[in-house]
Structures are given as structure tokens and as C-alpha cells.
Amino acid sequence: MRGEDPVEDITGILSAWGKGDPGAANRLFPLIYEELRSLARRRAGRGRGETLSTTALVHEAYLRMVDRSRATFESRAHFFAVAAKVMRRLVIDHARSAGARKRGGDAVRVTLDDDALADRGAPVDLLALDRALERLEGFEPRLGRLVELRYFAGLTLEETAEALAVSAATVKRDWFKARAFLLQEMAGGAPP
């Protein structure tokens, strides 16, 4: 494996996985583990309230993805897009569960380390973000998917463009629109 492009290697293993290679998932995990941990660290939850362990989030997301029968991933970007969707659901489910246990107590909050949706360091209510994202997906599915790819999967503009099959310029324009919409929704409908 030495000397190979890690992205090409991941794509090759994903292709083998899609073709039913029983050992592909085991070969893939060490290659993507640190990237999934980095992604999970940003999304697991920090600050007040109960948090979801980074390790638990990575392992649960990976297990759910491996459980899919004959999973087919077109590329590294597609794999991480699916991982983002799975992690989003796990984090939101955990936030809902924690909120239910507290009988209406503080929602699980995280700090956005990417100034994509809020000022650096400003806490964001995950449940409010999820509700706003669901509204966005309702009338602009591509914008919702873009937020999922950029925020939950941490993909670059170029990787997001590849995953959505659009240009990087389109991703930039759509990212601006999506952020503005989410900020407005999360502020209770007031202009951002």
C-alpha cells in the first residue's frame, strides 16, 4: 500500500466493498478512522449537558454503515456524505434523548468550531439546527444536503461540489444562501 494515494486507496476499497468483498470493511476502517474521529469530535457535542463520546459516535456510525447490506459508495466524498448523515441522526437522537430525560431541561449544545453557521465559539442548539435544516431540506433539498456535507461531514468546497455534481462556484453561492436561511430560522425568523 506504500506509495499509493490514500484517496484512491479508499475509493478502491469502497468499490470492493460494494462488490461484496467481505474483508473490505475491515481494510477500510483503519484508513478512515482518524478522519471519522475528527469529524465526530466536531459533531459529538461539547459544553453544557450530556455529550456523546467521539469514540462511541465513530463506532456506532461505522457499524450502522457496515450493517447496510452490500453498501455502495461511489467515492470517498460519497462515503463521508453518508457518514455525515448517519452521525447527524445519531447526534440529534442523542440530543433528543438527553432532553427527554431531563424533562424539558437544557438542550444539548455544541460549539461550532467552523464559523459556517455562527460566530466562532457561539453555542448552537442542535435540536434547533436540526429543525431549521429539516425546513431547508423541505423546499431546497440540495441546500440541505450541502449543509450536511459541509457541516456534518466537514467536506471542503471542492469535495462538496464533487459529491453534489455541481461546480465549486455553485457550492459557494448555495453555502451562503443555506447559512443565511439557517441563521434566520434559528433566530426565530428574524433577519440574520
The per-residue pLDDT for range 116-126, each reduced to its tens digit, is 443 344 556 77
Residue 127: closest CA among 145, 143, 146, 104: 104
The torsion defined by the Cα of 112, 116, 117 and 123, in degrees rounded to 10, comes to: 20
pLDDT of residue 111: 40
* Residues recorded for the chain: 192
- pLDDT, greater one: 27 or 8: 27
Cell of 32: 478512515
pLDDT of residue 1: 43
The torsion defined by the Cα of 133, 39, 73 and 145, in degrees rounded to 10, comes to: 20
pLDDT of residue 127: 82
Cell of 71: 453498501
- Asked if residue 106 has pLDDT above 60, the reply is no
Which positions ≥6 away from 170 have C-beta within 8 Å? 161, 164
| pTM (2 d.p.) | 0.67
pLDDT band at 170 (very low <50, low <70, confident <90, very high): very high
Q: What is the pLDDT of residues 52-65, one digit of tens each?
A: 677 888 888 888 88
Domain ranges of the chain: 6-186
CB 110 within 8 A of CB 123: yes
Q: What is the pLDDT of residues 41-88, one digit of tens each?
A: 766 554 334 456 778 888 888 888 877 655 677 778 778 888 888 888
pLDDT band at 136 (very low <50, low <70, confident <90, very high): very high
